[in-house]
Structure 1
Amino acid sequence: MTKLVLLHKAGSIYDDVPDAVYDFPARYLKTAQAAVGGWIVYYEPVKAGDRGYFAVARISEIIPKPGVEGRYLALIEPGSFLEFDRDVPRVIDGRPLEAALRNADGTPRKGGVVQLAVRRLPEADFARIVNLGLPQELERIEATRYDPLGSGFEDGAELFERPVIERLTRRAYRDVVFRRKVREAYGYRCAMSGLLLRNGGGRPEVDAAHIRPVEQQGSDSVRNGLALSGTLHWMFDRGLISVAEDCATILVSHNKVPGDVVNRLLPPDRRLLRPADPRAAPHPENLRWHRETVFGQTLPEGQGPRR
């Protein structure tokens, strides 16, 4: 299956939403069609930012862009998008990671294929880039981050090397990546209470909540996440709280949540904490989905907070 690099520039004339759709001109149609059902790597050029290779996803379908002649949309398979734990530069030790971007002596090429917004990516290059951005040992890194003994981590797991695609599709691994990205984006503070709490071992007591659940075709993008305390996570999942259309005001279902509870859990200004990096801010469409689908719904009786 053909794999690709897709160049993404935030704020360009193309209406990309990396975890949902990639907008491109007709000149790349044949190349993109060859990758339907296959994986792609997103790349942000140096002139547009500092991320380099920053995420993977899988293309499910190519369609003409409605109302725009000569433009097409690559639809991203729901649940496939995954941001790298750490961004990967295009060039390491003077050598581009993509073979097509190297001269015979290993130095970077100029012009030509380097300027293509959609380009083929050999399997070996794909695996190398993904392994740099999403390390094989990431689960152990997280498990031992605050507990050197890694209690609860599967014995012998470090001896088993999972193939790249298996790792990208395994829920447990994706959950670790999502949790790390979301909590880091908010500085390990709860986005609603603003509190930074750590246990005795230094572990941050904050969850990574999906705004739109994966089961409801939500993605593992940091823009579909909020760092929330356990109680506020439970309230958010059950529609007792949400975020207004301004993407900043915390909404409360006052007929279901007593005022004294709200006053203890939320700051007086009811303002959502924003990530330092605006690229990690909640996507308005994800928040809209939560307001319209979850907020204010009836809370099933007998359910308590989830941990």
Structure 2
Amino acid sequence: MLQYVLNVRQSQLNEARNVVRIYRTNLFKAWKLIGRHVLIYAPRGEEDTGYQGLAEVVDVHPDPDHPNFIRVEIGAILRFSVTLTPKMLYDAGDINDAPFYTYSHAIRAAPSFEVTRIAALEPLFEHRPSGWHEDTSSRAVEGAAPKRALSNKIIRSRILRFQMLQHYGPSCVFTLLELPSLDGLHFAVQQGHLWPLEYGGPDVLQNILPMSGDVNWLWDNGLISLKNDGTPLVASGASQQVLGLLRNCTRIRFPKDPRAWPQVEYLERHRDMVFEKNRAEARLAFQRLNR
């Protein structure tokens, strides 16, 4: 299994030391590493240059203050007993022909020779950290398929959420409330599906809007909807609490990029088959559609 390296400079770390800020050009590489352990490397110019340990890539977030950067969230770093420099990995007679700038890339594939040497020199690898080397026996590969499918599903969901936050921001489009975690990495907003997933709606950017948990429930239960121009609709039987929740919303803002706008078909599906209907009626409407 190919292993990867994440370069970490002290200046790129947040105070909690669980977020590394890197250039956005590394976004697709970073997405592929979600849920995997990577080698942590301090590049040239740092006080302690070399391979310092392992950490799991937990998630990738937009950087709202610097659009040319992304924030890579990592778990606690499993520190090596000593920092392993490239020079320590190449014995006399072993040639390191990699150009010096190879070690400056924010995310890079780890040379197989270096991975083998690190595993031989570092006692940490006696316990085989989770997400590192995989068993490639036929039984293990067969059993890994469902796990891999689940992992891919989680990664796709994280990517979709990243795109949603990037285009809309972290506020609920209806209530305009923004509820961040203490570290500013996570937000209470949910991926609200216009054409609900339970009725066969697609899990794509054009079928989601950032909604608070309450608003998402109202949407799925037919109490609110949207016109094609973003004007909110409230069911005739909705309570005053529902009206009060949407009092600040006269029209939601669509992203600057029209490719991210809600697809009209999905809005129409919701208005025709979910809005002002109970769950049983909505389910029946979609069953008839799929016959």
TM-score using structure 2 length: 0.47
Higher helix share: 2
Q: Computing the radius of gyration over CA atoms, which structure comes out larger, 1 or 2?
A: 2
TM-score using structure 1 length: 0.45
